[in-house]
Amino acid sequence: MSGLLYLDHAATSPIRPEALEAMAPSLTRDFGNPSSHHTVGEAAAYALDDARARVARVLGFRAGDVVFTAGGTEADNLAVKGIVLAALARGRSHVVTTPIEHEAILESVAYLGRFHDVTATLVPTDAHGRVDPAAIAAALRPETALVAVGHANNEIGTVQDVPGIVAAAQGVPVHVDAVQSAGWLDVSGLGADSLAIAGHKLGAPKGIGALAVRGRVPLEPLLHGGGQERGRRSGTENVAGAVALATALELADGERVAVAERVGAQTARLIAAVLAAVPRAALTGDPIHRLPGTAGFTFDGVSGEAVLLELERRGVVSSSGSACAAGSDEPSHVLLACGVPPGLAQTSVRLTLGRQGLPGDGPERLAALVAASVAAVTS
Ligand X SMILES: Cc1ncc(COP(=O)(O)O)c(C=O)c1O
Q: Is 76 in the site for ligand X (CB under 6 A)?
A: yes
φ and ψ of 198, to 5 deg: -130, 130
Question: Would you say 172 or 182 has its CB closer to ligand X?
Answer: 182
Q: Which stretch binds ligand X (CB under 6 A): 86-94, 173-181, 186-194, 242-250?
A: 173-181
Question: Would you say 107 or 312 has its CB closer to ligand X?
Answer: 107
Whole-angstrom CA distances from 32 to 2, 46, 357, 369 are 44, 11, 39, 50
Question: Would you say 14 or 341 has its CB closer to ligand X?
Answer: 14
Distance of CA 73 to the CA centre of its chain: 9
Number of residues that bind ligand X (CB under 6 A): 15
Q: Is 179 in the site for ligand X (CB under 6 A)?
A: yes
| Member of 32, 71, 221, 285 binding ligand X (CB under 6 A) | 71
Spatial CA neighbour of 11 closest among 328, 270, 365, 324: 324
d(CA 202, CA 11): 11
Q: Is 104 in the site for ligand X (CB under 6 A)?
A: yes
| Cross-sheet strand order for the sheet of 294-299 | 281-283, 294-299, 348-352
The minimum distance between CB 10 and ligand X, in angstroms, equals 6
Q: Is 150 in the site for ligand X (CB under 6 A)?
A: yes
Name residues contacting ligand X, limited to 301-330 (CB under 6 A).
323
Return the axis-axis angle of helices 362-377 and 304-313, rounded to nearest 10°: 120
Question: Which residues lie closer than 8 Å to 353 by C-beta, 6 or more apart?
Answer: 7, 9, 263, 266, 267, 292, 293, 294, 295
The minimum distance between CB 233 and ligand X, in angstroms, equals 15
| Member of 77, 108, 125, 180 binding ligand X (CB under 6 A) | 180
Is 338 a known active-site residue? Answer: no
Q: Is 357 in the site for ligand X (CB under 6 A)?
A: no
Q: Which of 110, 313, 324, 330 is catalytic?
A: 324
Return the H-helix or E-strand segment holding 77.
helix 72-88
- Per-residue burial over 12-31, b if 16 or more Cβ lie within 10 Å, else e, is ebebbeebbebbebbeeebe
Q: Is 241 in the site for ligand X (CB under 6 A)?
A: no
Q: Given the rule CB under 6 A, which residues bind ligand X? A: 71-73, 76, 102, 104, 150, 154, 177, 179-180, 198, 200, 209, 323
Residues forming the active site: 324
